[in-house]
Amino acid sequence: MIIDRLYQSVKEKGPVCVGLDTAVEYVPGEFLKKYNSLEDGIVNFNKRIIDATIENAACFKVQIAYYEALGLLGLRAYKRTLEYIKENKAISIADIKRGDIAKTAQMYAKAHFEGDFESDFITLSPYMGMDSVEPYLEYVDKKEKGVFLLLRTSNEGAKDIQYITTKSDRKVYNVVGEKIQNIGEKYLGNCQYSSIGAVVGCTHGEEAEKIRTDLNKTFFLIPGYGAQGGGAKDVAAYMNKGNGGVVNSSRGILLAYKKKENGQKDFDRWAGEETLNMRKALEEACKNI
Ligand SMILES: O=c1ccn([C@@H]2O[C@H](COP(=O)(O)O)[C@@H](O)[C@H]2O)c(=O)[nH]1
């Protein structure tokens, strides 16, 4: 199961997930000028970030929106970035947040688990119902693929719907969490966790221990660290003593160079340093839980 690989990767390299949300304006102008095309500039920026962080990164999350926004050249850069992650024997999470009727979901599963855009994990929204998740499960079962389902997101607006109290006096996210845990139990590897994970933002602290305990077979993808205000202490409660999830930082790592004088020249060095510091902070905070 792919989750065994991710679990092992966290054990060896710590829980940082490097987010490749590569907006064109994040790539230093002098670096971009060296390439004949924007596509090559973006891909080579990503390669430098991957090379500089891989030692301390459990996995890489590629946010498709930044690539789609550039049209075909962006999608080629997206494909080449996923290929480079694979060539380096690292684990990819494609942040695509799909959610649709089962027939359409079959096509999304084919698009992102096979062919040009193949990745190890993808993100999905289960808020259309569990039948919308079903088509992906064959890949989890037979093809070494995994999914992370949105549970409680990091944005403020998560409260608009995910926090609504249901008739059973539980929040919507508690009900969704139970469903994620239940399908996950059917696909447990040799590992403590299933390859059906959940996305839990670290910017909300309510019921953190309860969520971790209720979803004890569910590995978490935790966004919200750094640029959105989350810190190591906010993450620790979700981490199950350090190996219960991966913690994403995108802008915090990609733009670390902006905090340094003339940092754009060695943008990859500062991304590497930020990743290492984040790893150390997370490992320290998890010790104290
Ligand atoms: O609840 C969620 C789910 C996904 N995201 C994604 O994570 C990164 C966060 O980027 P930062 O620059 O580290 O803030 C981004 O790709 C989001 O789409 C999230 O933030 N919250």
* Ligand 1 atom nearest to CA at 249: 13
Choosing from 97, 179, 233, 280, the catalytic residue is 97
234 ligand 1 Cβ < 6 A: no
- At the topology level, CATH places domain 2-287 in TIM Barrel (3.20.20)
Atom index in ligand 1 nearest the CA of residue 158 equals 1
User: pLDDT-based confidence at 191, cuts 50/70/90?
Assistant: confident
How far apart, in Å, are the Cα atoms of 230 and each of 26, 57, 146, 151, 248? 21, 18, 25, 17, 10
Task: Give, using CA atoms, the residue closest to atom 19 of ligand 1.
Answer: 223
Nearest residue (CA) to ligand 1, atom 11: 250
Check whether 169 has a pLDDT greater than 90: yes
Domain ranges for the chain: 2-287
Give the DSSP H or E segment for 134. Answer: helix 134-142
Q: Is 258 among the catalytic positions?
A: no
Residue 15, both tokens: 């829980």
CB 18 within 8 A of CB 53: yes
Ligand 1 centre to CA of 223 (Å) is: 5
Q: If you take atom 10 of ligand 1, which residue's CA is the nearest one?
A: 250
CB 250 less than 6 A from any atom of ligand 1? yes
- The pTM is what? 0.98
**25-39: per-residue pLDDT in tens?**
999 999 999 999 999
Task: Tell me, in angstroms, the distance from the centre of ligand 1 to residue 228's CA.
Answer: 8
Kindly state the percentage of the chain with pLDDT values over 70.
100
Asked if 270 and 41 touch (Cβ cutoff 8 Å), the reply is no
| Contact indicator for 256, 273 with CB cutoff of 8 Å | yes
Q: Is the pLDDT of residue 289 over 80?
A: no
Q: Residue 242: what pLDDT? A: 84
Average the pLDDT over 171-181 and give the result: 97
90 C-alpha to center of ligand 1: Å?
Answer: 20
Mean pLDDT over the full length of the chain: 96
Ligand 1 centroid to Cα of residue 224, in Å, is: 6
Q: Rounded to whole angstroms, how far apart are CA atoms 215 and 261?
A: 44
pLDDT digits (tens, 9 = 90+) for 221-244: 999 999 999 999 999 999 988 899
- Work out the pLDDT band at 190, boundaries 50, 70, 90: confident
Q: Say if CB 6 and CB 92 are below 8 A apart.
A: no
Q: Could you tell me the CA-to-CA distances from 51 to 3, 34, 45, 54 in Å, in that order? A: 23, 19, 10, 6
pLDDT at 288: 74
The confidence score (pLDDT) of residue 32 equals: 97
